Structure 1
């Protein structure tokens, strides 16, 4: 297998890989996509109203999205059901745009999408954090609309996940047993002169994801609220590379803290309770590292459409379906089976695309 740059295959080569009769092909496994996005018209208008044309420096600007285009991509790569969310910059857009209104409209659009295409879509609720009263009110409203879970940015206005101000929300998410997808955004503090003009999605997203997950664990938030099913994006970002280093620092810190009984939770054990999606370019390097400390039943598929465009998404899907890093049974679990633990709704929904 070549390890050259992305977009190295022709359309015919991608099609061959998607249809390869290896026991984990499109014709045998209809995938569940736990990490994809939508940009309904009201949200696109809110971005324009806020003057946002290149969210987080995204090189292609605001991606084009429509329901037919999303369904077409799902058919192309063999996705039965996609669980969609609002991506960065979320619903707090600045420029005088009301985040409560933006969240409400996004969640209504998600409910409409699910109702109009039963079995093909679920949606994560968007919440107008860090306003706790408004966020809890919208959580009630969006779950009544049928949201399958909640998507939270790594931080909103500098309030990172694990911050004590978010404690009421995490308590409620745990009480409801909801699935929570973390999604990265540009870090709260920029470093002037470092990679100016480049999309933050290239590298800063991974550092911000890592930062917020560490904070969730060290703050004890995940330990206090075990009912949450947390999905960490992009194969764990930088966590696979740093996990053992952080664990050793926990050991040393806990030896010091033992006398005052303020021990930190085990870092690796906390990570192993989380789920990890494979959105983005995670092969051939990240997946083997992730598998070295996380059980394969906690790894799920994500397309990141439309921020990962249709052609690259097709290539990444084909790469995953034919990768040597995963066995056939692991591919089946990652592409489909594991998602049923996150979303009981899947068992109750009518079947979408034919496997």
Structure 2
């Protein structure tokens, strides 16, 4: 029997991407990464398999053609890693959004040629949030394929607080915004075959879900716009928000876990490390917090560590 955690939130940073990122002049450094480094981290923290994904800002730096080329290059690199070690690595393919046609081509390549385990979508792609009707063709294709999707935050489409990195707080809001927008536009009901995992325990969502649902359902606080789900009320918004899965990346703490476990549906919490953007010491801190949390029994730990992810990715089942 295979044991060990399945990590649904682990990143790769291949040299080819680092070079393209630097050429784009984005302005901040990327962490070091190698397959051997990933395996060492995984062995240290009892992770059997890491499902790799490219973090923000993805592959689209402003030019559609360049984004398509970089997307194919990164996805091909991931696929080779999985081909060499299918027991240790999995693959969330990246898409060159907001280029919808390029994204559809990347989905076809990822599933038909590379046998991807799923895809990663940023909460917002250059200012357009998931749930926006502009992305409906992509969502429809992912639904047709029964896709597993990791939703990862990006920089907010607005000015940052000087000196406060986006990862400290903005990322949490970005994920929360995307979840709300998806529910407002009826994505969970229109695309029922897409299973979405929200990064970092869903950002602020578990903590604020009842506030969000009440204000949407009981007050006229949503600006009328095309594509909104009709008949939203507090109950339907809550049910929509609870339909997501949530990973534990950077969230195995005595304050985050109670809210997450109180809100998430049974079976909807999965393990995540966020390595290498979370350094190995940080992975250890939050993993130890998860392991020590008294509100989870042995069966619950087994489900979060592995069982719930196996249900989403049967190829990794023992």
TM-score by length of 1: 0.82
Partner of 1:249: 215
Q: Answer yes or no: is 1:170 the counterpart of 2:136.
A: no
Q: Answer yes or no: is 1:341 the counterpart of 2:311.
A: yes
Gaps of 5+ in 1: 1-27, 55-60
Q: Deviations over 1:68-107 (max 9, x none)?
A: 0000000001000000100011111248981111111110
Instruction: Select the residue among 129, 153, 165 that pairs with 1:160.
Output: 129
> C-alpha separation between the residues in 1 aligned to 2:230 and 2:93?
34
Partner of 1:214: 180
CA contact 2:6–2:48 (8 Å) conserved in 1: yes
CA contact 2:201–2:251 (8 Å) conserved in 1: no
Partner of 1:8: none
CA contact 2:117–2:313 (8 Å) conserved in 1: yes
CA contact 1:152–1:182 (8 Å) conserved in 2: yes
CA contact 1:99–1:128 (8 Å) conserved in 2: yes
- Structure 1, 308-317 or 196-205: larger mean CA deviation: 308-317
Equivalences for 1:1-355 in 2 at 5 Å? 30-54=4-28, 61-94=29-62, 98-143=66-111, 144-191=113-160, 195-253=161-219, 262-264=230-232, 266-347=236-317
Q: Deviations over 1:277-299 (max 9, x none)?
A: 00014411111011212233110
User: Structure 1 residues 48 and 176, CA, compared in 2 at 3 Å: closer, same or farther?
Assistant: same
Gaps of 5+ in 2: none
The CA deviation at 1:336 is 0.6
CA contact 1:229–1:274 (8 Å) conserved in 2: yes
Secondary structure of residue in 2 paired with 1:124: strand
CA contact 2:142–2:194 (8 Å) conserved in 1: yes
The CA deviation at 1:51 is 1.9
Higher relative contact order (CA 8 A, sep 6+): 1
The CA deviation at 1:235 is 1.0
CA contact 2:64–2:96 (8 Å) conserved in 1: no
User: Structure 1 residues 49 and 97, CA, compared in 2 at 3 Å: closer, same or farther?
Assistant: farther
Q: Deviations over 1:143-193 (max 9, x none)?
A: 1211100100011111110110100110111111110100001111225xx
User: Which structure: larger Rg?
Assistant: 1
> C-alpha separation between the residues in 1 aligned to 2:178 and 2:249?
18
Across the aligned residues of Structure 1 and Structure 2, the Cα RMSD in angstroms comes to: 2.1
